[in-house]
Structures are given as C-alpha cells and as structure tokens.
Structure 1
Amino acid sequence: MQDLLNAYRQEAQAGLFEAKALPFAVYHDREIAELETNKVFRCDWNFACAEQALADAGSYYAFDLAGEAVVIIRGQDKQLRAMSNNCRHRGTPLLDEGFGEVGNNISCPYHAWTYDDKGNFKGAPMPGQVTLDKQAHCLPQFRLESWQGLLFINLDSQAQPLSERFSGIEEYIAVYQPERFNSYGGGEVEHWRANWKVVMENALESYHIFKVHKETLEPVTPTKLAYYVAGSAAWTITGGKLVDDVGTLTKWLRGKYPRAYDHYQLIFLPPSLVMILDYDSLSWLHVLPDGPETCVIRSGTIFPESLFKEDQASQAFTRAFFREDKKICERVQKGMHSKIGKGGKLVEMERSVVDFHQYLAAMLFAAETDDFYEDENAALFLGEE
C-alpha cells in the first residue's frame, strides 16, 4: 500500500511538463477510495444544488456526502439550513433522497421521532418513564454557503470560508453577468461504472472531444479552438470558441457585444464540480464517488428565464454526449485493472487535469503545488483586449 501511496503522490504533484497519468490502481483500490473520502470529501466545500431549486418554503434536497446523510431545507422562515438527515434515535434516514417538500415538521418513518424544519427535536411518542433531553437530540448542523446562486456544504467546521476557497474567479466570469440566472432546470441522476476521478478527468479536458464527440460537441465546440484561461490546484478555468452558425441578418440585429459572448468557459471547482458558462446559462456536471469503481452523476442548469429555452432537440443533444462520455469513462475504468500498464505523459491540452492532480496531492499528502497561472487568453474575459 505504501508503494502505491508514494507513486500516487509523486505523479499527482508533478507540474505540467513532467505530469503523467496517475497510477492505474488508484482508480479502483478500496483503501485509496477511503482516503479520498476522508481527506477530500469530508474536508472541502462540496457542491449540493442551486438555490433556485429550493426557492419555496418547505422545499428540500437530500443526498449522501461521504457517507453522511445530508439535507438542505428552506424553512418556513425562508432560511436555508443544512443538517443531518439521520434520526437521532437509531439513525434512520428521515427524508427521501432527491428533491422534495416538507411541512413544519419532519417525522421519522421508523418510530415517529419528530423535528421541526430547523432540526430542533420536538418529541417522541410513548417514551414511558424515560426523559428525552430535547437539546441533546437536535439534528447536527453543517456549514452551508452560497456562491453565484450555487449551494455548497462543508462537513469540516474548521475549513476556510467558501469565499476564500474560490477567491479570484469572479473577475473572469463577470462578463457573462451570471447574477441574471434566476431559473433552474434539473437533469437526471445517473450511475456510472467508473471511478470518480476518471469522470472528472474526462470532464475537465477538451482533448477528447474530436474523437469521442465527433458528431455532437466537436461541430459546436471544436477541440482545436479550446484553450486554457487561468487556474491552479484551487480552481481552473478553460475556454473555447463556439462555432457561429448565425446568419448575417441576425448578427446585425444583435448589435455590438463583447467578443467573450462567442466563447464559453469550462470552470472546475474541486473536488468534483465542472460547469459550462456562457451568456445564456450556467450548466454543470457534479460527480460524487459511490465506492471505488462507481460514481453518481448529477447535472443541472441555471439561466435567465427570459432567454433560455431548452427544447426537445437540446435535451436530446445533451443526452447524446452524456452517453458518449459514460461509454468512454466506463471503458477507461476497465483499463485501470491492468497490472503491467502504465500511464504516459499528459499533453498541454490536459493542463486542467494537471491542476486536478495537484489538488489531490495537496489534499491527500499536503504536497506543494504550482503557482497560479494566467494565460494570455484571459484578456478576452477581463476586457483587456
């Protein structure tokens, strides 16, 4: 095991021009999966859902995070809170996973212990002569913060504030005015037979688009028009030129607008959120591990209600390239069981993957990482052209 840990650290902390693929065994080893759960997902800010998905009082979102049953509830007082979704009696999950609605009270489906929507214990039926201390049986609370309309949870009460964690990103995305995005559309929950890192690496780089997505993404966001913007182990932004098939008249009617609107950004917020941002919407792919060789995939979009129209054609397009990604990720996972195979050098278009690996090196091994890097392409989004 120690040899694998040493190899993991060595490859993960390498800079761009020395970086190689990670040792194959880290994509299926059970002890590595447990290490990542404890030192990554239990210690950093994890994406949960969009605020817009919990707009109404009583709405909730429940999910599993690193073995903890978590629920975010919009209380009757309109406040959002994150708390344990396990009953304080014998640990039964209180609310079903996914999105739902709850009234003023939450009743355990096992013995009907009851809590209010703030997590306060209200009582239990038929306690007999036993006295139940209400304060001692409240639901544990978790840190919950919002960034750009997205909700993040941290199980570590000592972690740095979310604003510090993602400090610096705002100046690059401001040109798209994401504060306009007031509506929400959710995707289906999917289960892929691949280690979560395989899926993240695939989502982070555009190097594979010309081959894997030849008929879907490549005609719209060609591999050769993708580029690095800025980033480090803390977060990464890459971008690309959108192929413009709009007619001359439509262009004239548009009038003058920032050249950045003809481009998109791919934003990586470690450990496991990748977002596509353009003028019309902010869409995401969120990955959570579900064992060493499986993961849960969640997607969604926020957008200005007046602009974004997701018709059947666009939904079919999204499903198509998701199927392509799932197929290739599950194929890669099979290759990770080779005993003699070794990964090769990463190319420059995989710089974002290098950032991801260095994030893992920092979280798992307290390794030093490269300094923040800003490419000349960043000028497009900073209004410096």
Structure 2
Amino acid sequence: MTATQAATTSITTPANFRNEGNGLPRALPAWTYRNAELIELEYERLILPSWQFVCHINQVKNPGDFATLDLMRDSIIVMRGKDKALRAFMNVCRHRGAKLLDGSGTCKHRLVCPYHAWSYNFDGSLAAVPAEHTFPGLDKQEFGLRPVELEVVLGLVFIRVIPGGPSLKEMWGDYVDLVADYRLEDMVPVDEPWTDIWQCNWKVGVDNNLENYHIPLGHPGYHRMLDNDLQGFINVHGVAGSKSVLKDKPSPNWVERFYQQMAPEVLRDLPEEIRRTWYFFTLPPNIGIDIYPDSMDVFQILPRGAETCVVRYPVYRRPKENREQRVLRYLNGRINRQVGAEDRELCERVQLGIGSRGYEAGPLSSYEVALKDFHDRVRAVCPVTTLPKAPGAGSLRQRNAELSAAVKRSGN
C-alpha cells in the first residue's frame, strides 16, 4: 500500500454524506455566527481542549529560546530548557498575573516578570522573589509556572491548554508519511507570524478554509495554475486534506506561469511528483497547514469577538535557499497573498449576508464534507447550536447544559 492509499483509508465519501431521512445536511444556523455568548462557550469547549500551533521546532532550538501564542483570554509560552527539553507554560506570573513574555526570542538567564521581578527558571520553577521576607511562609515550589500539554509533529510545535483526547500523532496518522518527502522538520521561519483582524466570526473563516468548492470562482489564480481536488479527504479525527498539482498548461498570469515552469526545475533534490504538488491540510477546529515544495505556512483562525477573528499566518522556508529557490518562494508569496485577500473578502461578504433576514442555513455539497464534519463537532460540544434560534439573552449556557444532559440521557 502506498502512503497516499494508506492516508486515505478512512476518508468520508459522498456515499455516507447524506443524512438518513433528512435530505442534504445543513450548515449551522445563522445566529451561531453572530452571538457573543456562544463565542465564550466555543472558546472553552472547542479552542482550549484542541491542539493549537505555536511555532516551528527550529525557532526554539537552544536553552532560553521561547515563542508565545496569544489566544482569546490566555497566553502560552513554549521554551527550551537548559536540559534541552521543550516545555509549555501559561504565560502569566504567579504573583499578580502579569503577562511575562511577548512574541519570540531568547531569555539569557531567567524569565523575569516585568511587574515585580519574580523570576522563573527555564523549566518553569520559581527561582527568586524580590523582598522574599515580606512573604512569610512562602513555598516557592508551589508557585512555578503552570504547565501546558505540548506535542511536536512534522517539526511543528502545538500546545493544548485543556489536556485529554487523542494525541497529534494519532490524529495525523498516515498523513505524516504522505508529506515526509517535503522535509518540513528542516524548515525555518521567514519572519515573525503575520496577523490580521477579519470582520467575520471565526467559524466563517474556518468554513471557508475547509472546502475547495469555492476555488474555481473565488480563487482564479489557483484555478489557472493547479488541478485542484475539490472533494478532498478526511480521517476519523477530522484531519482533512486535498492535493493540488501544477497544470501542464501555462497560466496566462506571468507570476503563476513562472512558478509552474520553475518549480520542477529548481527543486531537483525533491522527488519529481513533490516538485509539482501542493497539499492543503486542516486540523480541527481552526488550523490550516499548507505545504508547498518551496515552503509551508500555517493558517490559524482564532475567535476574537462575535463577528471578528484573528488570523495568524507564519511562513516557513527550506533551509539554505539558493537564488532560484528564493525567487520561487517570492512567486509563491505573491500568489498566496492574493489568495489570502480573496479569502478575506469572501469571508467578510458571508458575514454580512449571514446577518440578513433573507438567509437561513443552506444545504451542503459533498464537496463540503470537511465543513460538515466541523459543524458536527461544534454541535457535539455545544448542542445549543442545534437550535434554529438563539436562546434568550443570558440563558445560553443554561440552555446548553440542559441540551447536553438530554443528549447524555438519550445515550447519543
């Protein structure tokens, strides 16, 4: 069995896409994309218990190297210890709650709080407290930084604030073998992650990233230069992917055409098929990982408010690029910046439409199978989203608890 065959043995297919007795499946109700109370619940039930991307392993190679991730209300540090171990901690001082670090970098000796100078060792233990005599009976062993679950896959460092559930290794399964030839573990960051605020609910951004149905019209550049798999594949853990291959027919756009021509020629250390292939993966609930022969990027969509989200977009390149490889990555960057702008416009148009009285949740295509899987995962942990209308103000949590209890009693 080839890596491709092994990776797709558990895909969802159109044959089991139709809901029994209910016709075509429907998207989440419109109100779920505009409700501030639901955002808080989703953050607790979907974001905090899921694997969230922080950095590449090559950004934290040496003792004291760190990278941070800011979520809606929580911040996390990933740091390399003096013992070479990689750890993750909540990015908050145990004294009065000040945020300790921003961005990424290197701590020389200790991690020092900018408020009262409490300091921590690289393993998270509390090292020193100024004027310690004014804290009678203080046991420093009780006030180390709170640890966070951490795992590395394909050279990418993820954390999970609320532990439990499948490991990343389990979730990715054979897909790791599918992309082994891209040597993602060797890649290095291009720059600090680019971030932006989109005027849409985070689920609108995720929905868009989960389907290729919109590519022919929404991304004409991709349509000109790539044979895109509109169906894609997905495993039992909701990790979805699709494969796009450079077309033999040259694109009329010079940037796309040069990329088509150059990629097979300048990356001869890679297998021939890899030089022509782009893979797009999604990790539930909110992360896209785009893999190209010349580079890769992570597309992380984080909730910010009922109708706004944060888009985090770090890019990684192959090490020791020569001139031709840098040109190829430049072309890739131009192509995908345009795609990013198109996605933002599409998502913000959807957010405007979802608020209209003329919209109710529409049917889903079998091309949108990964989107359906995502919506089912939302419904499973937030059953209040099965209601056609929003609960009364202030009652969403109570209503969600009632529906959760009813589901548990029914055994479903």
Q: Structure 1 length as normaliser, TM-score?
A: 0.81
Q: Secondary structure at the match of 2:76?
A: strand
Aligned to 1:110: 115
Change (3 A) 1:255 1:278: closer
Residue 312 of structure 1 and its aligned partner are, at CA, apart by 4.3
Query: Which of 289, 298, 306 in structure 2 is aligned with 1:284?
Result: 298
C-alpha distance in 1 between matches for 2:177 and 2:330: 34
Segments of structure 2 that go 5 or more residues without pairing to the other structure are 1-15, 19-23, 251-259, 384-403
Q: Which amino acid aligns with 2:131?
A: M
Q: Secondary structure at the match of 2:222?
A: coil
Aligned to 1:219: 224
C-alpha distance in 1 between matches for 2:358 and 2:242: 33
C-alpha distance in 1 between matches for 2:217 and 2:380: 32
Computed over aligned residues only, the root mean square deviation of the Cα atoms, in angstroms, reads: 2.9
Asked if residue 309 in structure 1 is aligned to residue 326 in structure 2, the reply is yes
Q: Secondary structure at the match of 1:33?
A: helix
Q: Which amino acid aligns with 1:322?
A: G
Asked if residue 159 in structure 1 is aligned to residue 136 in structure 2, the reply is no
Aligned to 1:356: 374
Q: Secondary structure at the match of 1:158?
A: coil
Aligned to 1:100: 105
Residue 198 of structure 1 and its aligned partner are, at CA, apart by 0.7
Aligned to 1:228: 232
* Conserved 8 A contact 2:94-2:145: yes
Residue 306 of structure 1 and its aligned partner are, at CA, apart by 4.4
Paired-residue identity, %:
29
Change (3 A) 1:148 1:313: closer
C-alpha distance in 1 between matches for 2:74 and 2:159: 12
Residue 267 of structure 1 and its aligned partner are, at CA, apart by 0.9
C-alpha distance in 2 between matches for 1:87 and 1:240: 46
Query: Which of 334, 337, 355 in structure 2 is aligned with 1:337?
Result: 355
1:132-182 CA-to-partner distances (Å, cap 9, x unmatched) read 2101111101111101101111112333333223333224334x3435633
C-alpha distance in 1 between matches for 2:177 and 2:127: 46
Aligned to 2:17: 16
C-alpha distance in 2 between matches for 1:102 and 1:34: 33
Q: Which amino acid aligns with 1:282?
A: M
> What does 1:30-41 align with in structure 2 at a 5 Å threshold?
30-41=36-47
Aligned to 1:170: 176
1:248-276 CA-to-partner distances (Å, cap 9, x unmatched) read 9x77x969955465332211111111112
> What does 1:265-284 align with in structure 2 at a 5 Å threshold?
265-284=279-298
Change (3 A) 1:254 1:51: closer
C-alpha distance in 1 between matches for 2:269 and 2:189: 28
Aligned to 1:7: none
1:303-322 CA-to-partner distances (Å, cap 9, x unmatched) read 43246426544433332221
Q: Which amino acid aligns with 1:178?
A: R
C-alpha distance in 1 between matches for 2:185 and 2:144: 37
Q: Secondary structure at the match of 2:305?
A: coil
Segments of structure 1 that go 5 or more residues without pairing to the other structure are 1-14, 369-385
Question: What number of residue pairs does the alignment pair up?
Answer: 349
1:276-330 CA-to-partner distances (Å, cap 9, x unmatched) read 2243333221111112222111122334324642654443333222122112211
1:215-255 CA-to-partner distances (Å, cap 9, x unmatched) read x33222355x544234345211222232244569x77x969
C-alpha distance in 2 between matches for 1:45 and 1:133: 32
C-alpha distance in 2 between matches for 1:288 and 1:261: 32
Change (3 A) 1:258 1:357: farther
C-alpha distance in 2 between matches for 1:201 and 1:337: 16
C-alpha distance in 2 between matches for 1:48 and 1:106: 19
* Conserved 8 A contact 1:268-1:274: yes
* Conserved 8 A contact 1:209-1:222: no
C-alpha distance in 2 between matches for 1:282 and 1:213: 19
* Conserved 8 A contact 2:194-2:312: yes
Change (3 A) 1:234 1:255: closer
C-alpha distance in 2 between matches for 1:55 and 1:185: 16
Aligned to 1:45: 51
Moved more, 59-68 or 258-267: 258-267
* Conserved 8 A contact 1:229-1:239: no
> What does 1:60-99 align with in structure 2 at a 5 Å threshold?
60-96=66-102, 98-99=103-104
Q: Structure 2 length as normaliser, TM-score?
A: 0.76
Asked if residue 321 in structure 1 is aligned to residue 351 in structure 2, the reply is no
Aligned to 2:244: 240
